[in-house]
Amino acid sequence: MMAIPLSALPLLLLTLGLAMPSTVPAQQPASKPLYRIVGPDGQVTFTDRPPTAAPAAVVAVPLPPSAPPTATLPADLAAVVQRFPVTFYRGADCPAACTEARALLEQRGVPHVVRTVTTPRDTAELQRLTGAALLPSLTVGRQPLPGWRRADWSGFLDAAGYPEKSRLPAGYRMPDAAPLAPPPAVAAASAPQAPPPPTPSGPGGIRF
């Protein structure tokens, strides 16, 4: 697959948004990870092929999305959320820019998850995901939008297929905000644990 120039992404997202089915399919095929490539000249491209022998000046960053619940959403809106989930990154408090950004998401009824950036670990993860340590920030699918720019955020939400006016059902509740990078102890506790070794068996299959 050829690398996609950053300037072509709005048109690509718009095409995908128009092609989305009106109902949620029973099973969604696994999507390939997308990598954000910054070349030595500063040119940004996106590709599903990780660089094999990238020079030091090239940075490849996988952008994993997260998604809010979709069970109670209208089928067409749920399909948009599943294909282009939205994550909102903010600080501990919410200054004017953050308030304006939240108002845009609420006015349009965009289901999203909130990740707070308050620690150096959070900041490092935000830098890895979006390419910049700017708040507030947004990801639409795997497209990072660092920093609050209404025109950019609105354009990518339009291209992904999110409605201009809220269509959220009454009582719909966004997930609670959570730290972007959990503390190491929490991360270790949530990591998959290796199964215990098999218990030796005695004669007749009796386990000790």
Contacts of 89 (CB under 8 A, 6+ apart): 114, 115, 116, 117, 126, 130, 135, 136, 137, 138, 139, 180
User: Is 83 part of any domain?
Assistant: yes
User: Is 202 part of any domain?
Assistant: no
Contact assessment for residue 140 and residue 113, using Cβ atoms and an 8 Å cutoff: no
User: Is 208 part of any domain?
Assistant: no
Q: Taking the CB of residue 17, how many other CB atoms lie within 10 A of it?
A: 17
Give the pLDDT confidence score for residue 7 in this predicted structure.
Answer: 52
Cis peptide before 136 (omega within 30 of 0): yes
Q: Retrieve residue 120's tokens.
A: 């150096």
User: Is 190 part of any domain?
Assistant: no
For 169-204, how does the pLDDT look when each residue is reduced to its tens digit (9 = 90+)?
A: 999 999 999 999 987 765 555 555 655 555 454 454
CATH of residue 81? 3.40.30.10
Give the pLDDT confidence score for residue 51 in this predicted structure.
Answer: 57
User: Is 204 part of any domain?
Assistant: no
Domain region containing 78: 4-184
**Average pLDDT of 69-87?**
92
pLDDT at 86 over 60: yes
Structure confidence at residue 77 as a pLDDT band (50, 70, 90): very high
- What is the domain count for the chain? 1
For 15-44, how does the pLDDT look when each residue is reduced to its tens digit (9 = 90+)?
A: 444 444 444 344 444 445 555 565 656 565
* Full-model pTM: 0.60
For 90-149, how does the pLDDT look when each residue is reduced to its tens digit (9 = 90+)?
A: 998 778 899 999 999 999 999 999 999 999 999 999 999 999 999 999 999 989 999 999
Instruction: Return the higher-pLDDT residue of 74 and 10.
Output: 74
Q: Retrieve residue 202's tokens.
A: 């005695």
User: Is 160 part of any domain?
Assistant: yes
User: Is 38 part of any domain?
Assistant: yes
User: Is 194 part of any domain?
Assistant: no
Give the pLDDT confidence score for residue 61 in this predicted structure.
Answer: 40
